[in-house]
Amino acid sequence: MSESILVVGGAGYIGSHMVKQLRLAGFAATVADDLSSGHREAAQGAPLFVGDIGDADFVDRVLRETKPAAVMHFASFIQVGESVADPAKYYRNNVAATQTLLDGMRAHGVDRFIFSSTAAIFGDPQYVPIDESHPKAPINPYGRSKWFVEQMLEDYDRAYGLKSICLRYFNAAGADPDGELGECHEPETHLIPLILQVASGRRAHINVFGEDYATPDGTCVRDYIHVADLCDAHLLSLHRLLDGAGSARYNLGNGNGYSVREVIEAARRVTGHPIPTHVGPRREGDPPVLVADAGAARKTLGWQPLYADLDTIVAHAWAWERRHADWATR
């Protein structure tokens, strides 16, 4: 009998890709999602519980009915600017609701947890590439909310034996290589889908926020990691926890930095569209360079990204944009 895995936020961007990978790996995935930003179709027919993980009764029902061997948690609010304007929303959902989920797990004897963390816990980098020992100094409520949960998980391990693996994403990007799933946030804030919306005619231009950074072309440099590669790291982490490994923290990125202008050029190559740009002032809180040192995940998990090439990442996202742009308006 397949082991049951609960995917919280499994109707969202990364969570839905994880549901597919779990199914292909022989696990029985169940989705819990409030559908505030996810899509029912993205659950791909997996059992779907619609509700808020901040509701202890809902969490109790889901865990009682699914009896998962582990929980994967993707259900977080992720917009940095919004977190500054409305920090209460972020602490309530990203921290308090996560604690409700963890306490429900304790009550049901579920002691394996994989958490979607973020490079935002590091704040302004003191050095790059950024490894796991880099100081943690988040500069916005979003990053602080993720760092709070990481610290909570350390305490829950010491006190209750709940084992967790936190995966710190840099810039998740791309789409399912088979074209079945992709990114469709509303509003969209990620660079690659915004650029591709220009190419498909849904936007007139792409905004470039600042061109006077201390980088080769003056625009910010980021580390883009394919969503399928992120899910591979989750799957490897799941196997480690199921095999009895202890808690761990890993940075996930390709180790290659691409500037905003390099991403736009890649999209021009892939789409054949000119993609007009408008240059504006810098956004507050944007570091010049964020690049991951993912050596620990490669060494310990045996993780090897398959889609590290930027043009491949953009091509998969472009295939999704052309086929499924209507999802963004549903």
d(CA 68, CA 157): 18
Q: Residues 55, 99: contact at Cβ < 8 Å?
A: no
Higher-pLDDT residue of 7, 329: 7
Which are the contacts of 157, defined by CB distance < 8 A and separation ≥ 6? 163, 164, 246, 247
Q: Give 283's pLDDT tier (boundaries 50, 70, 90).
A: confident
- 91 a catalytic residue: no
Question: Could you tell me which CATH class the domain 4-173+225-252 is placed in?
Answer: alpha beta
Architecture per CATH, domain 191-222+255-329, reads as Alpha-Beta Complex (3.90)
C-alpha to C-alpha distance for 275 and 280, rounded to whole angstroms: 16
Active-site pick, 142, 169, 224, 250: 142
pLDDT at residue number 325: 61
pLDDT at residue 229, as a whole number: 97
The pLDDT of 275-301, averaged and rounded, is 92
Domain ranges of the chain: 4-173+225-252, 191-222+255-329
Average pLDDT over residues 102-131: 96
| pTM of the predicted protein model | 0.94
Q: Where does the chain show beta strands of DSSP type E?
A: 4-8, 28-33, 48-50, 70-73, 112-118, 163-169, 171-173, 206-209, 221-222, 224-226, 248-252, 258-259, 277-280, 289-290
Task: Give the pLDDT score at 328.
Answer: 45
pLDDT tier for residue 185 given thresholds of 50, 70 and 90: low
Q: Write the DSSP symbol of residue 306.
A: S
**Structural tokens at position 221:** 């440099």
pLDDT digits (tens, 9 = 90+) for 57-70: 999 999 999 999 99
Burial of 139 (0-12, 13-18, 19+ CB in 10 A): middle
Question: DSSP code of 3?
Answer: P
